[in-house]
Amino acid sequence: MNEATLFVRTRPSRGAPAGTSEGELAIIWALSRQRAGRLRTIQPQGAKKRQKARSDRRLSESPSQLWYLLAHVRQPDAHDADVLSECHDCGLVQRLPDASVAAVVLCERCGARLRQVRHNSVVLSAACAAAGLGLFALAFVLPTASVWMQGGRFATSDLVNGPERLSQNGAWALALAVVITLLILPFAKLSTVLAMSLALRFGRVPRWLKACFTALPVFTEWAMVDVFLLGAIIALFRLRAWMLVAFGPALFALGGAAVCSVAVDAALDRAVFWHRVPLGPKSRGARTPTGWLACHGCGLVTHAAEGSKCQRCEQSVHARKHDSVRRTWALIASAALLAIPANVLPVMTITKLGRGGPSTILGGTRELLHVGMWGLALLVFVASILVPLVKLGALSFLLVSTSLRSAAGLGTRTRLFRLVALIGRWSMLDIFATMMLVTLARFGWLGNVMPGLGASAFCGVVVLTMLASRAFDPRLMWDAAGQNPGPAIAPGVTS
Ligand SMILES: [Zn+2]
Ligand SMILES: [Zn+2]
């Protein structure tokens, strides 16, 4: 923020919501000038003007305070839905710039992505989603890989027999995790985008589709086609050491589907989609608004009561995630406990020509090192051992610093949280690699791989750490440091 940011004269601001009063225009104008770095200090004369200047200076010190004031000056209207946005990482309510060019709008305080402005977003994302669904369907019917051993022994794997083999060998939890992350959620993500595009085209969005579209970020985080591909490649390279391996066409189809899924993410401008969903009527008997709340589902910022229904997506609106700190601690503690059996128990039992035995995660990495696959060994070590440890450590650090109400390095801590949320899913690499090994290596004493209890425990660790980062609300760090208007003590932080 510029230090000398005063405004004494009111000037209309372009793009201000209809019905904005002169005082509000002054605030909006000051904000836009501040942002452009063009606000000059004008020294007012006289005691009254000096007093006004002091209060203006105080106001202009923090844009969140300005918006806080604006929120109390005027009731929001439908137009605000597209003008205001709350940063999901730091809680700053800010006005989005005109969306006339394709750009990424970042939070001015913490750098989080507020909006991705894309032209023809609905058509482009529908096309990418349809192509992805086609390739995904193809991957279902084709084999993912085939292997041959001496004596004409042959085995093939596809997307269905992988989880089947896991559950037959008692690893039903693993099979369930694979079915959800590899089959159900990628399909749910692509079909939700396609259905929403079609629904907007026909001008009617059913309630269930709204609910699915609000869950789209969850689908994106938990849909792991890309992680599976890398895991499958690692497994096939390991198998190449003792049998003949052929990459199946389903791997290429899945690769295409993964690219389409990334293209959907790149083309999707959620604000455009939600903008075309009409606002519903305010629920009858609505409680008195508790403040300026952003809907977690669709991003609509309204003056609403805690726990009331969003006018657009019909999800419950909350200022902050419910009981975030306690839930995150509980999930971290469970994950840390489960990490012990995950690293001590064997993730699989490998038999080669009648020899071999149980192998842990670390053992698997060592085995890759012995056969000279340095790159893969490093990849497995980072994804399976380093990433879960870093996640647990980083989340604990964020929770402790929030409880201490520390204001130091808020930007860095928020970036750390984003990194933790981003890398967590890649730990599933070893689970998918194990599944491929179990499905393909089934030649009895010649070459066989069985899943171990450690694999299920490790899968539990990955799922729990991912849930922990989802349960943590990074806005609490900013609340606790007194950076957000409203309650200075974050809910859930014990004093
Ligand atoms: Zn922010
Ligand atoms: Zn909503």
pLDDT at 406 over 80: yes
pLDDT at 16 over 70: no
pLDDT at 238 over 80: yes
Instruction: Show the tokens assigned to 168.
Output: 């037959």
- Cα separation, 153 vs 167, in Å, equals 23
pLDDT at 252 over 70: yes
What is the pLDDT, as a whole number, of residue 286?
58
Residue 257 alpha carbon to ligand 1 centre in Å: 32
- Give the mean pLDDT of 352-358: 81
- Give the mean pLDDT of 228-256: 89
pLDDT at 337 over 90: yes
- Give the mean pLDDT of 79-100: 76
Q: Per mean pLDDT, which of 65-74, 367-376, 481-490 is the most reliable?
A: 367-376
Residue 483 alpha carbon to ligand 1 centre in Å: 11
C-alpha distances in angstroms, 409 versus 18, 86, 402, 416, 478?
A: 39, 21, 12, 10, 11
- Closest ligand to C-alpha of residue 92 is 1
Q: Is 43 exposed, middle or buried (0-12, 13-18, 19+ CB in 10 A)?
A: exposed
Q: Looking up tokens 């994106």, which residue turns up?
A: 220
pLDDT at 265 over 80: yes
Where do the structural domains in the chain lie, given as residue ranges? 121-277+317-480
Residue 381 alpha carbon to ligand 1 centre in Å: 33
Residue 185 alpha carbon to ligand 2 centre in Å: 22
One-letter identity of residue 475: R
Instruction: Kindly report which listed range (175-179, 250-254, 362-366) carries the lowest average pLDDT score.
Output: 362-366
Closest Cα to residue 472, out of 423, 435, 418?
A: 418
Instruction: Show the tokens assigned to 244.
Output: 């003949």
- Give the mean pLDDT of 262-272: 91
Instruction: Kindly report which listed range (37-51, 77-91, 182-196) carries the lowest average pLDDT score.
Output: 37-51
Residue 131 alpha carbon to ligand 1 centre in Å: 34
pLDDT digits (tens, 9 = 90+) for 395-405: 999 999 999 99
Residue 67 alpha carbon to ligand 1 centre in Å: 14
Instruction: Kindly report which listed range (27-41, 329-343, 460-474) carries the lowest average pLDDT score.
Output: 27-41
What is the pLDDT, as a whole number, of residue 249?
92
Residue 343 alpha carbon to ligand 2 centre in Å: 42
Residue 81 alpha carbon to ligand 2 centre in Å: 10
- Cα separation, 84 vs 173, in Å, equals 43
C-alpha distances in angstroms, 439 versus 15, 144, 145, 254?
A: 59, 11, 10, 18
Bridge partners of 149, per DSSP, are 153
**Residue predicted with more confidence, 64 or 238:** 238
C-alpha distances in angstroms, 99 versus 15, 103, 118, 123, 169?
A: 11, 8, 9, 17, 54
Residue 315 alpha carbon to ligand 2 centre in Å: 6
What is the pLDDT, as a whole number, of residue 393?
95
Residue 219 alpha carbon to ligand 2 centre in Å: 17
Closest Cα to residue 327, out of 491, 148, 109, 456?
A: 491
pLDDT at 31 over 70: no
- Give the mean pLDDT of 134-154: 87
pLDDT digits (tens, 9 = 90+) for 59-88: 344 444 444 444 433 434 444 555 788 899
What is the pLDDT, as a whole number, of residue 458?
93
Residue 295 alpha carbon to ligand 2 centre in Å: 5
Residue 39 alpha carbon to ligand 1 centre in Å: 22
pLDDT at 235 over 50: yes
Residue 359 alpha carbon to ligand 1 centre in Å: 44
What is the pLDDT, as a whole number, of residue 76?
41
Instruction: Kindly report which listed range (335-339, 414-418, 433-437) carries the lowest average pLDDT score.
Output: 433-437
Residue 134 alpha carbon to ligand 2 centre in Å: 31
Q: Is 297 exposed, middle or buried (0-12, 13-18, 19+ CB in 10 A)?
A: buried
pLDDT at 333 over 90: yes
- Closest ligand to C-alpha of residue 112 is 1
At 267, the pLDDT band (50, 70, 90 cuts) reads very high
Q: Which residues contact 422 (CB under 8 A, 6 or more apart)?
A: none
What is the pLDDT, as a whole number, of residue 225?
92
Residue 306 alpha carbon to ligand 2 centre in Å: 13
**Residue predicted with more confidence, 107 or 303:** 107
Residue 293 alpha carbon to ligand 1 centre in Å: 15
pLDDT digits (tens, 9 = 90+) for 3-14: 222 222 223 334
- Give the mean pLDDT of 139-145: 90
What is the pLDDT, as a whole number, of residue 294?
87
What is the pLDDT, as a whole number, of residue 59?
38
pLDDT at 99 over 70: no
Q: Looking up tokens 């792991």, which residue turns up?
A: 224
Give percent above pLDDT 90 in the chain. Answer: 35
Residue 328 alpha carbon to ligand 1 centre in Å: 21
What is the pLDDT, as a whole number, of residue 9?
26
Judge whether 430 and 364 are in contact, CB under 8 Å: yes
- Cα separation, 384 vs 195, in Å, equals 36
Residue 177 alpha carbon to ligand 2 centre in Å: 29
- Cα separation, 450 vs 355, in Å, equals 14
What is the pLDDT, as a whole number, of residue 111?
87
Instruction: Show the tokens assigned to 349.
Output: 């039992």
Residue 319 alpha carbon to ligand 2 centre in Å: 13
Judge whether 258 and 135 are in contact, CB under 8 Å: no
Residue 267 alpha carbon to ligand 2 centre in Å: 21
- Cα separation, 359 vs 216, in Å, equals 37
Residue 300 alpha carbon to ligand 2 centre in Å: 5
User: Torsion angle of alpha carbons 212, 224, 178, 176, nearest 10°?
Assistant: -30
What is the pLDDT, as a whole number, of residue 283?
61
- Closest ligand to C-alpha of residue 294 is 2
At 41, the pLDDT band (50, 70, 90 cuts) reads very low
- Give the mean pLDDT of 294-321: 86
Bridge partners of 85, per DSSP, are 94
Closest Cα to residue 242, out of 430, 455, 381, 448?
A: 448
Residue 475 alpha carbon to ligand 1 centre in Å: 8
Residue 216 alpha carbon to ligand 1 centre in Å: 21
Instruction: Kindly report which listed range (39-43, 101-105, 358-362) carries the lowest average pLDDT score.
Output: 39-43
pLDDT at 160 over 90: no
Closest Cα to residue 86, out of 479, 493, 394, 421?
A: 479
Q: Per mean pLDDT, which of 35-49, 121-135, 448-462, 481-495 is the most reliable?
A: 121-135
Q: How many residues does the chain have?
A: 495
Residue 277 alpha carbon to ligand 1 centre in Å: 25
- Closest ligand to C-alpha of residue 90 is 1
Judge whether 90 and 36 are in contact, CB under 8 Å: no
Q: Three-state SS string across the chain, please?
A: CCCCCCCCCCCCCCCCCCCCCHHHHHHHHHHHHHHHCCCCCCCCCCHHHHHHHHHHHHHHCCHHHHHHHHHHHCCCCCCHHHHEEECCCCCCEEECCCCCCCEEEECCCCCCEEEEECCCHHHHHHHHHHHHHHHHHHHHHCCCEEEEEHHHEEEEECCCHHHHHHHHCCCHHHHHHHHHHHHHHHHHHHHHHHHHHHHHHHCCCCHHHHHHHHCHHHHHHHCCHHHHHHHHHHHHHHHCCCCEEEECHHHHHHHHHHHHHHHHHHHCCHHHHHHCCCCCCCCCCCCCCCEEEECCCCCCEEEECCCCECCCCCCECCCCCCCHHHHHHHHHHHHHHHHHHHHHCCCEEEEECCEEEEECHHHHHHHHHHCCCHHHHHHHHHHHHHHHHHHHHHHHHHHHHHHCCCCCCHHHHHHHHHHHHHHHHHHHHHHHHHHHHHHHCECCCCEEEEECHHHHHHHHHHHHHHHHHHHCCCHHHHHHCCCCCCCCCCCCCCC
- Give the mean pLDDT of 256-285: 86
Residue 314 alpha carbon to ligand 2 centre in Å: 6
Backbone angles phi, psi at 242, to 5 degrees: -135, 5
